[in-house]
Chains A and B, each alone.
Chain A
């Protein structure tokens, strides 16, 4: 998370989301997530970074994509630029670990990959 945060959010504008609130953004089934962290913009931007370690990697991407779609729909009417960021979010995966990046740096992060 810290690596991603430095790359995506060098000015540290994103704020931590309490762990017990993350399930209101990403709709994993109970018990599915072994560990998670999330940061998001404190203003109306959709920018965020989320990292998950999951039990069933096969299902996790679908959950992440549908969760991003819900956020995208929520932004579509009022913040179309933010909806566009969500549509082009970067989802990285290495085994049971998934990272999600939403923001202007998402493309660059995806190109660099998850190490």
Chain B
């Protein structure tokens, strides 16, 4: 019983029914038309799966987030997707250059990505990497280097949550222009991301399903050059990032059930389960059940 409680907690708020449930921890910005929110908390997290959809968070949530990586991360800055966040990224940058190339900042004060991270703590780091490494001879080298990078980030940013964004595809036009980039190679690298996410307990982001056409390619209207998102693409991306967050308090959104037929699945009173197993009440009050 304890294990099932720790694994799955389901409950439903109806607001108007005046249920004695503390809603402050879970009430989020959006509500369904019926005014009923249903959330499920999963405490045994499966890092091999991308973050599931959650209620949207406010812009303030990103005030201590940094987006790190290559030109696909630079777009987060160029299009002002999350102006509250920092973007520590540069076009053409690969992960083996994070401690070498002074490309962050302006003028004579430029730093490497690593130096920038050593100088300011963040609560969340979103890694947008892998595209510039698709041409590496051995994907195993990429896995080893990215694994070491994650280990290093944990040392210099010990309080930060790490999120690893899978590589989204190119459009047909993009594939035509990029010699080393193929859907198969992207899939191979994304499999590495999944392995590393599990090994290193890093959250995965995967916005690709929102971007792709029936062929699995980046939709032409979401990119100008076939490789990078345009304004329309970043609009979708912004909404995705705001609705796929890792904090437990945001929970996973469920379909709202009909409140008129809702079954009360709230957490039982402490000790209730044991009493039930023993086959009777010890005088404790049974919880109300709603029909």
- What is A's interface to B at a CB cutoff of 8 Å? 15, 17-18, 21, 23-25, 27, 40-44, 63, 66-67, 70, 73-75, 77-79
Contact = CB atoms under 8 A, between A and B. Distances in A.
For the complex of A and B, the 4 pairs showing the least CB-CB separation, nearest first, are A27-B137, A24-B96, A70-B135, A78-B92
Nearest to B112: A42
A15 B100 contact: yes
A70 B139 CA distance: 13
B96 A25 contact: yes
A73 B100 contact: no
A43 B90 CA distance: 11
| Interface class of chain B by DSSP | loop
A79 B132 CA distance: 13
B71 interface: yes
Nearest to A63: B137
Contact of B91 (A43, A70, A78): A78
Given A42-B112, A70-B137, 18 more contacts: A18-B99, A21-B145, A23-B141, A24-B95, A24-B96, A27-B136, A27-B137, A27-B141, A42-B102, A43-B102, A43-B110, A44-B92, A67-B137, A74-B94, A75-B92, A77-B227, A78-B92, A79-B92
A24 B103 contact: no
A79 B92 CA distance: 8
Interface residues of B, number: 25
Given A24-B145, A67-B137, A74 B92 contact: yes
Contacts of A75: 92
Contacts of B199: none
A41 B97 CA distance: 10
A55 to B, nearest CB: 17
13 contacts: A18-B99, A23-B141, A24-B145, A42-B100, A42-B101, A44-B90, A44-B92, A66-B137, A70-B137, A70-B180, A74-B92, A78-B71, A78-B91
Interface string B176-217: 010110000000000000000000000000000000000000
Interface in B110-168: 110, 112, 132, 135-138, 141, 145
A107 B156 CA distance: 41
Interface in B63-114: 71, 90-92, 94-96, 99-103, 110, 112
Contacts of A43: 101-103, 110
A32 to B, nearest CB: 12
A50 to B, nearest CB: 13
Contacts of B180: 70, 73
Contacts of B141: 23-24, 27
Contacts of B102: 42-43
